[in-house]
């Protein structure tokens, strides 16, 4: 009989731990294929899942690189919660000539009694318990279950959604999340104060509006805005390390208030996978406003005229909507005047 391992989950997003479990089933259990089954609504999770079309697309990217992986969308096509018993009843009925093994992690095995009709589940398929986080020694694996030896990959979808361990997701999936703006506000939120986060989101919105007004790439402008202050709340010594690693020595001789732009342009690449030189340049120069690239002018304008700054910037915003270049020059002139006034007041 054909042997198929089934791996269900929210896959929100899919990560290297999922892939490692599927590959272990091929290597250790001798299955012919691994079917990935994204849930429509996970029974033991309260969180609303990311749109199923996005989760399917991310799984397609994984299958492209793993020829023995397949997608089974039976749960996405079924209304209501995605109970494993319903899925297995459907699949064993549709494919009587396939021997199924359902893959679960040690954490799921511990709460197996909470699953719907666990006795019937063990009649329909073999269950293989993967050692995802070195937790199997604490498990009493019941009859009908087997161990699935694998090298643990300590990562969860919830960690990735919060901006942690982004290196433990396939690069193609990370690029998809960037392209479709999935999870990104949640990625940057833990890196800054609530005030800074609100400012970053507001700047990103204004960047998008300016890009639309001038027939530019709205997504690229939004990315620049959402990430522009990613390094602002880092300690100065941390900012200095990023600057020293990627910029000439004279960069560190500039005022420390400028460093976060330089540091941020490196962080977006090394941590978040943003490789676009236009975005990197815009973030790098957004403090001083030294670049006349359209996206650099847009983020400089949006940062300085952010409506959340508490003063009426509507006239200048309108001027920039009508003429990006001349509006940029107006904002630069006003910013210079503001800084000069601050300098004079400090000297009094």
For the domain that residue 273 is a member of, what is the CATH number? 1.10.3210.10
Task: Name the CA dihedral angle for 163, 169, 170, 174, rounded to a multiple of 10 degrees.
Answer: -10
CA nearest neighbour of 71 among 34, 104, 23: 34
Q: Are residues 342 and 198 in the same domain?
A: yes
Supply the pLDDT for residue 170: 98
Supply the pLDDT for residue 348: 65
Q: Are residues 134 and 15 in the same domain?
A: yes
Q: Are residues 113 and 194 in the same domain?
A: no
Question: Contact at 8 Å (CB) between 165 and 204?
Answer: no
pLDDT tier at 171, thresholds 50, 70, 90: very high
Q: Give a yes or no: residue 291 inside a domain.
A: yes
Given a cut of 60, is residue 134 above it in pLDDT? no
pLDDT digits (tens, 9 = 90+) for 61-81: 999 999 999 999 999 998 888
Supply the pLDDT for residue 111: 86
> Tokens for 82?
């995605």
pLDDT tier at 264, thresholds 50, 70, 90: very high
Report the pLDDT averaged over residues 42-60.
Answer: 88
Q: How many domains does the chain have?
A: 2
Q: Are residues 315 and 250 in the same domain?
A: yes
CA nearest neighbour of 288 among 320, 254, 245, 239: 254
Q: Give a yes or no: residue 68 inside a domain.
A: yes
CA nearest neighbour of 297 among 231, 206, 229, 233: 206
- Number of other residues whose CB lies within 10 A of the CB of residue 249: 8
Q: Are residues 270 and 309 in the same domain?
A: yes
pLDDT tier at 132, thresholds 50, 70, 90: low
CA nearest neighbour of 274 among 135, 194, 179, 343: 179
Given a cut of 70, is residue 138 above it in pLDDT? no
Question: Which residues form the domain of 105?
Answer: 2-156
| CATH number of 149's domain | 3.40.50.620
Residues 6+ apart with CB under 8 A from 98: 1, 2, 3, 4, 91
């Amino acid at each position: 009989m054909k042997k198929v391992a089934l791996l269900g989950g929210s896959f929100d997003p899919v990560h290297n731990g999922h892939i490692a479990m599927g590959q272990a089933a091929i290597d250790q259990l001798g299955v012919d294929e691994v079917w990935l089954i994204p849930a429509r609504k996970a029974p033991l999770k309260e969180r609303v899942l990311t749109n199923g079309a996005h989760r399917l697309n991310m799984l397609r990217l994984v299958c492209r690189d793993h020829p023995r992986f397949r997608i089974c969308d039976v749960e996405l096509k079924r209304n209501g919660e995605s109970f494993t018993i319903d899925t297995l009843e459907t699949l064993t009925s549709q494919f009587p000539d396939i021997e199924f093994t359902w893959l679960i992690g040690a954490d799921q095995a511990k709460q197996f009694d909470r699953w719907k009709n666990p006795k019937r589940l063990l009649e329909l398929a073999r269950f293989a318990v993967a050692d995802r986080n070195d937790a199997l020694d604490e498990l009493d694996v019941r009859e009908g279950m087997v161990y699935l030896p694998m090298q643990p990959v300590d990562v969860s979808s919830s960690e990735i959604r919060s901006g942690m361990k982004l290196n433990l997701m396939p690069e193609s999936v990370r690029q998809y999340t960037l392209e479709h703006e999935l999870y990104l506000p949640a990625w940057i939120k833990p890196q800054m104060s609530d005030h800074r986060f609100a400012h970053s989101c507001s700047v990103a919105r204004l960047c998008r509006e300016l890009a639309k007004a001038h027939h530019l790439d709205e997504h690229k402008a939004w990315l620049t805005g959402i990430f522009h202050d990613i390094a602002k709340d880092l300690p100065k010594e941390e900012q200095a390390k990023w600057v020293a690693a990627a910029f000439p020595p004279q960069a560190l001789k500039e005022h420390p208030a400028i460093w976060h732009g330089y540091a941020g342009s490196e962080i977006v690449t090394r941590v978040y996978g943003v490789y676009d030189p236009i975005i990197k340049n815009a973030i790098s120069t957004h403090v001083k406003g030294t670049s006349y690239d359209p996206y650099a002018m847009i983020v400089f304008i949006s940062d300085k005229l952010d409506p959340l700054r508490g003063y009426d910037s509507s006239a200048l915003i309108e001027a920039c909507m009508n003429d990006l270049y001349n509006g940029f020059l107006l904002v630069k002139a006003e910013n210079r005047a503001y800084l000069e006034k601050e300098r004079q007041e400090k000297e009094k």
